[in-house]
Structure 1
Amino acid sequence: MVRVRRPSPQTVAVLAALAEAGDGWSHGYDLCRALGLKAGTVYPILIRLTERGHVETSWETDPPRGRPARHLYRLSTAGAEFARAVSAPARANDGATAPRLAPGTI
């Protein structure tokens, strides 16, 4: 029997924030501040989503002077579809029921 895991509310929040940014890149630190989550929560979620092909990553190419380059994140095409899939049922049911996902998607 395959166990289907539902994404955590924190994962859904990260996906929603990245979806809101559209094709734009987001910094992990900015996601932490915007979502009110700690780095120890957000970065493992970003890593998992990246490993599963839902998030693309890149290094900032031209950081402001005096600050090191940051890692950037945005949803991949598959990630955008996944974000819609996990957020639509939650909105429709006011978060009462999480969607059923295919095994290994999150």
Structure 2
Amino acid sequence: MRMTIPVAKVLAALLADPEAPRYGLDLMKLTGLPSGTLYPVLHRLQAAGWLAAEWEEVDPVAAGRPARRYYRLTPEGVRAARAALAELRALAPDSPKPRGIAPTGAPAW
């Protein structure tokens, strides 16, 4: 997996609570990434086996919105994401370290 800043932001957001299913708009808010950047990253993570995705079972008419596609790191994805972000931090020892999730819910990258 090629580690880019958008990939690192998505992984950090997903790792903040690996058990929590996240949908696109939620991830856009957490990462600050536009949909045109976010969805290709999600697709690559899913193709690599790091991410599982499933559609919510909801009646769009009753819910008043379309069904959401929820994303969650796989167990392999959790291990790989933690290792990749640790390696990224090790490569840039003089740069500021991520501080986790900021009070607004956005990763502190």
Structure-2-length-normalised TM-score:
0.75
**Residue ranges of structure 2 left out of the alignment (5+ in a row):** 97-109
CA offsets, 1:14-73, max 9 Å, x none? Answer: 011111121110011111111111000000000010011000001112367101111000
1:10 aligned to which of 6, 12, 22 = 6
Equivalent residue letter for 1:71: R
Q: What does residue 86 of structure 2 align with?
A: 88
CA distance in 2, matches of 1:94, 1:31: 28
Greater length-normalized contact order (CA 8 Å, ≥ 6 residues apart):
1
Number of aligned residue pairs: 92
Does structure 1 residue 53 correspond to structure 2 residue 49?
yes
Compared CA separation, residues 85 and 95, structure 1 to 2 (3 A): farther
Q: Displacement of 1:95 after TM fit?
A: 5.0
Say which is worse superposed, 5-14 or 73-82, in terms of deviation: 5-14
Q: What does residue 36 of structure 2 align with?
A: 40
Instruction: Indicate the RMSD between aligned Cα atoms, in angstroms.
Output: 2.0
Identity of aligned pairs, percent?
40
Q: What does residue 22 of structure 2 align with?
A: 26
Compared CA separation, residues 94 and 54, structure 1 to 2 (3 A): farther
**Residue ranges of structure 1 left out of the alignment (5+ in a row):** 97-106
Equivalent residue letter for 2:42: L
Q: Displacement of 1:89 after TM fit?
A: 2.9
**For 1:82, what is the secondary structure of its paired residue?**
helix
